[in-house]
Amino acid sequence: MKMTLTLISICIAGLFVASRVIVAKVEESFPPVGSFAEVAGGRLHYAEIPASDPSLPPVVFIHGASGNLRDLKAPLDGKLRRHGRLIFVDRPGHGYSERGENDAISLPTHQAARIAELLNLIEAEPAVIVGHSLGGSVAAAFALNHSDQAVGLVFLAPATHPWPGGEVTWYYHLTTIPVIGWAFSELLAAPAGYLQYRNALKGVFEPNRVPRDYPERSGTRLVLRPQVFRHNADDVTSLYDAVRNMSKRYHEINLPTSIITGDSDGVVLAEIHSKGLEEDISGAKLIWLENTGHMPAWTDASLVADEILRISEIAAFGNGVADRAAQSARTRSSGG
């Protein structure tokens, strides 16, 4: 019995040390890349690129689950050479943004409110709001509750509607269980996640290949830090009830809207979320990408950038620029 307890203690100690070593390595590899702003509830970390075309509105990028601001910044900032001000935000509790003490901060409405406060603080409003995956629900909440600060929306493989059964992957639920979830995230999440990281990426990108430089440029291993892992689980497990209520109001959104989604997305059900948004938001444009998974910002970065620019131009100059924006996109795509 004593030997068994000793072995268990050694295993626990070993996992604890391994977890701390991995966390230290991840944070050294992916330090903060932007600035910090003090808002109610805690600091937000954001990265900013000045406008090359001051006539266009700012564009705010909201990442999805398990992500951070690098996940959208890496593939898109270089593609938006003629753009308004670009602002990439770590959602509360992710990347290097603080979570704060608000128990409801896992909800899209509360995260949108904190981002809205940031935009007010740094005078980056009204803006085009871009949301990927779970970040799409935050973008939708922003449009509903802070419409005076938004002039356009771009959804990338969004998660915005209730889905059949409302189930999520088992380890999200496990992580939210008191005591057990804490122990799991502190001892096992980092070592197991580090080992399974590349396999997990394949599932997110399928049927597309994972870009060779994705792990280094996206910094998504930051989610393996135990506290962030718990925050991520809270966000994911809260999402179903949040969008079940929020989606009833999407018909209120009256903004230029584009939805870009893969027809082979294995993470979210595009027929429910993306198609649902198209039906709910009057005038929304839905773009289906053939043989594409959950990461259009990486697999179709030029198209995504062109669509962000199109929405920005409509927001700035009105619907009369739609044809000019489309022609501009075709010219850039052909190298003209």
Asked, for residue 23, whether it belongs to a domain, the answer is: no
Asked, for residue 11, whether it belongs to a domain, the answer is: no
Asked, for residue 12, whether it belongs to a domain, the answer is: no
> Which pLDDT does position 81 carry in this prediction?
77
pTM of the model: 0.93
Asked, for residue 311, whether it belongs to a domain, the answer is: yes
Q: What's the structural domain count of the chain? A: 1
| Tens digit of each residue's pLDDT, the chain (336 residues) | 666 666 666 677 778 888 899 999 999 999 999 999 999 989 999 999 999 999 999 999 999 999 999 999 999 999 997 899 999 999 999 999 999 988 899 999 999 999 999 999 999 999 999 999 999 999 999 999 999 999 999 999 999 999 999 999 999 999 999 999 999 999 999 999 999 999 999 999 999 999 999 999 999 999 999 999 999 999 999 999 999 999 999 999 999 999 999 999 999 999 999 999 999 999 999 999 999 999 999 999 999 999 999 999 999 999 755 444 444 444 444 343
Query: What secondary structure does DSSP assign to 165-200, as a single string?
Result: GG---HHHHHHTSTTHHHHHIIIIIHHHHHHHHHHH
> Which pLDDT does position 2 carry in this prediction?
63
> Which pLDDT does position 286 carry in this prediction?
98
3-state secondary structure of 288: strand
Distance from CA of residue 78 to its chain's centroid? 18
Sheet holding 257-262, edge to edge: 35-39, 42-49, 86-89, 59-62, 127-132, 150-156, 257-262, 285-289
Asked, for residue 26, whether it belongs to a domain, the answer is: no
Provide the CATH number for the domain around residue 54.
Answer: 3.40.50.1820
Nearest-5° Cα angle at 332, 262 to 305: 40
Residue 280 structural domain:
36-333
